Amino acid sequence: MSLPTAFTGSTKPRVFALADCNNFYASCERVFNPALRARPVVVLSNNDGCVVSRSNEAKAAGIGMGVPVYQVRSLIAKHKAAVFSSNYALYGDLSRRVMQVLARFTPSLEIYSIDEAFLSLDGIREPGAHAAELRATVGRWTGIPVSVGIGPSKALAKLAARAAKQAPMGVFACPDEPAGRDALLESTALQDVWGIGPGFARRLERGGIRNALDFARADARWIKRALGVVGLRLALELRGETCLALEEVPPAKREIATSRSLAYPTADKGELEQALAAYVSRAAEKLRGQHATAGALWIFLHTDQYRNEPQHYGSRMAVLPVPTDDTAELMAVALELFRATYRPGHRYRKAGAILTDLRHGSVQGSLFDARDREKSRRLMAALDAANRAWGTGTVRYAAEGFEKPWRTLCNSRSQRYTTRWDELLSVAT
Amino acid sequence: MPAALEVLNPAADPPTLAIAFALARVPAGFPSPADDHLEAPLDLNEHLIKHPAATFIVRASGDSMRDAGIHDGDLLIVDRSLSPRNGSIVVACVDGELTVKRLQKCGGRPYLTPENPAYPALWIDAGSTFEVWGVVTNCIHRLH
């Protein structure tokens, strides 16, 4: 489907990069414990002890993603893998640092998840060299290895980032010439295309579509009928047309994100709080829709890069004392994070909230549903009052009790090296 | 620049330290119109941390760097964005172990020296892995 230029807007070729942290949680553990570079590293989810991050060595050892730790005990022992429970305080802080470094390399950074961000490289003469420099700087400054994919659309940049994981220098650019691009698409399975889940893949396969190239070449009207407008946009993106705004991109795995560009840049604290509260509310709805709770909440704010005025990329993470799906509770934490992040005098253009450390199957129940705010509020107040009077933890959520089998796993959490004075890294002189 | 407390404790409000301090010396009657805008409490983070995204705080343990003024329990500000010079105090990583030492070069070969005569210099063997984890820019030593 090609539209006249007048309809697609700018004729200037766009260049996007996706910077993706390699095995992010496992890499975070290695920053403060370099001896781990010689060993496989595995990070487990906090509630059910399933593998959520693996170093390359752990992948090579055959330790699968998402599997419960007890199923891979013997592999762990055999390969002397180091096992950690998730340390979201550490991961959140390192993510913030990575994003701050990335922001130095682009006029436009879009945080996509805790470990991925899109960068606009429009007008940069040698995007490949720029990406290599970016990668080296993030590695040196933060200790986190990143891969960078480059392409004329976000979907192609994402595809290239997959290839970059295999590339020796960690940077891969989607080929400019059609033959090279087709080869890349042809070698990409449908389920590896960004935004194509098992449902989309089945429908496409029924239509005789086997890989990303078939998908990109399929008839636009057919795709729209089969997958709707989101599917059509994905196909157009694979053809190199830019048509996905950040808010339309498919959600990252293991996270629930809501972010929007604001209608206009604003420095008004009240307006920003309202916007953020709305995003958190939507994210919490999605969370309850999945019957899940979140153990950590992350917010971010950007100014408008294209304006010649003070710039700020701020982000902060909170690890929740108890995983929750309660809108009011998440909102209160988000606003606290916002107040600590917001800088007066900066006009913000984008804001977002990301819920992570998701736990399925330990929902607190409808008692805390935001549809009954007043009840929830009264309950929280009573709970807080009881805990104030008789000591923290006197009255707790029932959900805390369900996690006991894994409580011992908290012992294998690394120190919160960057956010707690009493947990700093100790270095022998 | 972001405050160090932002680096260390995401839940807390920066800045960490508020010291009122009159910046402009005004001889007579004409306060600088900029004062209203520019006066902000002194922020130690600004003084100690030039590259917040690349700066980490670690705690020193041991007395091998005593004569450089680094004592057991001191806080070290470590900037990973800086390239070490000959003679820089660094957090070095030798065979996966981190250590604080002065970095010296002799004929292109790096070696690490302590600042305490009771300890020997550490030469890096050809078979060892060695890298500079970060450059120590400041040491915070509590006196009271």
Which residues of B are less than 8 Å from A425 in CB distance? Answer: 56, 58-59, 98
**Given this model, what pLDDT does residue A63 score?**
96
Catalytic residues of A: 116
Residues A188 and A18: their CA atoms lie apart, in Å, by 17
Per the structure, the complete domain to which residue B18 belongs is given by 1-49
Residue B67 in this model has a pLDDT that exceeds 70: yes
**Contact criterion met (CB below 8 Å) for A314 and A335:** no
Report CA torsion sign: B126, B130, B135, B138. Answer: negative
Name the residue of chain A whose CA is nearest to B37's CA.
Answer: A345
pLDDT band at B69 (very low <50, low <70, confident <90, very high): very high
**Given this model, what pLDDT does residue A264 score?**
81
Co-location of B45 and B56 in the same domain:
no
Residue B93 in this model has a pLDDT that exceeds 80: yes
Average pLDDT of chain A is 84
Co-location of B83 and B118 in the same domain:
yes
Co-location of B68 and B12 in the same domain:
no
Measured distance between the N- and C-terminal CA atoms of chain A, rounded to whole angstroms: 65
Co-location of B65 and B104 in the same domain:
yes
Candidate from A38, A141, A427 with C-beta closest to B98? A427
Q: A350 burial class (0-12, 13-18, 19+ CB within 10 angstroms)?
A: buried
CA distance A419 to chain B (A): 4
Q: What is the mean pLDDT of residues A226-235?
A: 88
Give the distance between the most distant pair of CA atoms in chain B.
Answer: 70
Please identify among residues 126-145 of chain A the ones whose CB lies closer than 8 Å to any CB of chain B.
Answer: 137, 140-143
Which of B34, B49, B64 corresponds to the end of one domain?
B49
Residue A325 in this model has a pLDDT that exceeds 60: yes
Residues A35 and A15: their CA atoms lie apart, in Å, by 38
Q: Does domain A24-90 have CATH number 3.40.50.970?
A: no
Q: What percent of chain B clears pLDDT 70, i.e. is strictly above it?
A: 74
User: Could you tell me if A34 lies within 8 Å of chain B, comparing CB atoms?
Assistant: yes
Please identify among residues 99-128 of chain A the ones whose CB lies closer than 8 Å to any CB of chain B.
Answer: 100-101
Q: Parallel, antiparallel, or unpaired: how do β-strands B122-123 and B89-94 relate?
A: unpaired
Report CA torsion sign: A163, A168, A173, A175. Answer: negative
Candidate from B61, B80, B101 with C-beta closest to A426? B61
Name the residue of chain A whose CA is nearest to B51's CA.
Answer: A141
Residues B56 and B46: their CA atoms lie apart, in Å, by 14
Q: What is the DSSP letter of A370?
A: G
User: Could you tell me if A269 lies within 8 Å of chain B, comparing CB atoms?
Assistant: no
Which residues of A are less than 8 Å from B13 in CB distance? Answer: 339-340
**Total residue count of chain B as it appears in this document:** 144
**pLDDT tens digits, residue range A20-66?**
999 999 999 999 999 999 899 999 987 778 899 999 999 999 999 98
pLDDT band at A256 (very low <50, low <70, confident <90, very high): confident
Query: A34–B53: do the CB atoms touch at under 8 Å?
Result: no
Candidate from A421, A425, A427 with C-beta closest to B99? A427
Name the residue of chain A whose CA is nearest to B9's CA.
Answer: A419
Residue A76 in this model has a pLDDT that exceeds 90: yes
Co-location of B37 and B56 in the same domain:
no
**pLDDT tens digits, residue range A351-385?**
889 998 888 764 444 444 444 545 665 665 665 66
CA distance A140 to chain B (A): 6
Candidate from A314, A318, A418 with C-beta closest to B8? A418
Q: What percent of chain A clears pLDDT 70, i.e. is strictly above it?
A: 83
Q: What percent of chain A clears pLDDT 90, i.e. is strictly above it?
A: 45
Total domains in chain B come to: 2
Residues B20 and A297: their CA atoms lie apart, in Å, by 35
**Given this model, what pLDDT does residue A11 score?**
56
**Given this model, what pLDDT does residue B74 score?**
97
Name the residue of chain A whose CA is nearest to B131's CA.
Answer: A34
Co-location of B71 and B21 in the same domain:
no
Query: B8–A316: do the CB atoms touch at under 8 Å?
Result: no
Name the residue of chain A whose CA is nearest to B80's CA.
Answer: A141
Domain spanning A256-397: CATH superfamily: DNA polymerase, Y-family, little finger domain (3.30.1490.100)
**Contact criterion met (CB below 8 Å) for A190 and A204:** yes
**Contact criterion met (CB below 8 Å) for A346 and A312:** yes
Co-location of B116 and B57 in the same domain:
yes
Query: B54–A101: do the CB atoms touch at under 8 Å?
Result: yes
pLDDT band at B109 (very low <50, low <70, confident <90, very high): confident
Which residues of B are less than 8 Å from A34 in CB distance? Answer: 93, 96-98, 133
Co-location of B121 and B109 in the same domain:
yes
Q: What is the radius of gyration, based on Cα positions, of chain B?
A: 20
A265-273 long-range contacts, Cβ below 8 Å, gap at least 24?
A265/A303, A265/A304, A265/A307, A265/A347, A265/A348, A265/A349, A266/A347, A266/A348, A267/A344, A267/A345, A267/A346, A267/A347, A267/A348, A269/A342, A269/A344, A272/A301, A272/A338, A272/A342, A272/A348, A272/A351, A273/A335, A273/A338
pLDDT band at B10 (very low <50, low <70, confident <90, very high): very low
**pLDDT tens digits, residue range A174-219?**
998 889 999 999 999 998 888 888 888 888 899 899 999 999 999 9
Name the residue of chain A whose CA is nearest to B121's CA.
Answer: A429
Catalytic residues of B: 64, 101
Among residues B117, B45, B94, the alpha carbon closest in space to that of A427 is found at B94
Angstrom CA distances, A54 to A57, A65, A213, B46, stand at 8, 8, 30, 37
Write the CB contacts of A295 (distance below 8 Å, at least 6 apart in sequence). Answer: A46, A47, A86, A88, A319, A320, A323, A356, A357, A358, A359
Please identify among residues 37-76 of chain B the ones whose CB lies closer than 8 Å to any CB of chain A.
Answer: 51-54, 56-65, 70, 72, 75-76
Report CA torsion sign: A272, A282, A95, A337. Answer: positive
**Given this model, what pLDDT does residue A98 score?**
96
Residue A85 in this model has a pLDDT that exceeds 50: yes
**pLDDT tens digits, residue range A265-302?**
888 888 889 888 888 888 888 888 888 889 899 999 98
**Contact criterion met (CB below 8 Å) for A193 and A238:** yes
Least confident among A325-329, A411-415, B26-30, B45-49: B26-30
Identity of residue A70:
Y
CATH number at residue B116: 2.10.109.10
Location of each CATH 3.40.1170.60 domain in chain A:
24-90
Q: What are the structure tokens assigned to A232, written together? A: 């059509």
Residues A404 and B18: their CA atoms lie apart, in Å, by 44
User: Could you tell me if A317 lies within 8 Å of chain B, comparing CB atoms?
Assistant: yes
Higher pLDDT, A399 or A79: A79
Query: B60–A425: do the CB atoms touch at under 8 Å?
Result: no
pLDDT band at A261 (very low <50, low <70, confident <90, very high): confident
Residues A300 and A313: their CA atoms lie apart, in Å, by 7
Q: What is the 3-state secondary structure (H, E, C) of B25-50?
A: CCCCCCCCCCHHHHCCCCCHHHHHCC
**Given this model, what pLDDT does residue B4 score?**
29
Candidate from A141, A340, A424 with C-beta closest to B13? A340
Co-location of B66 and B42 in the same domain:
no
Co-location of B26 and B72 in the same domain:
no
Location of each CATH 3.30.1490.100 domain in chain A:
256-397
**Given this model, what pLDDT does residue A95 score?**
94
Co-location of B31 and B72 in the same domain:
no
Candidate from B12, B51, B93 with C-beta closest to A34? B93
Residues B144 and B128: their CA atoms lie apart, in Å, by 41
Query: B81–A140: do the CB atoms touch at under 8 Å?
Result: yes
Among residues A91, A37, A92, A44, the alpha carbon closest in space to that of A65 is found at A44
B/e letters for A141-161, b = 16+ CB within 10 Å, e = fewer, are bbbbbbbbbbbbbbbbbbbbb
**Given this model, what pLDDT does residue A319 score?**
87
Co-location of B30 and B85 in the same domain:
no
Q: Interface pTM (ipTM) of the complex? A: 0.76
Q: What are the structure tokens assigned to B72, written together? A: 């057991």
Residue B2 in this model has a pLDDT that exceeds 80: no
**Given this model, what pLDDT does residue B23 score?**
42
**pLDDT tens digits, residue range B19-57?**
434 444 444 545 555 555 667 788 899 999 999 999 999
Q: What is the mean pLDDT of residues A12-27?
A: 93
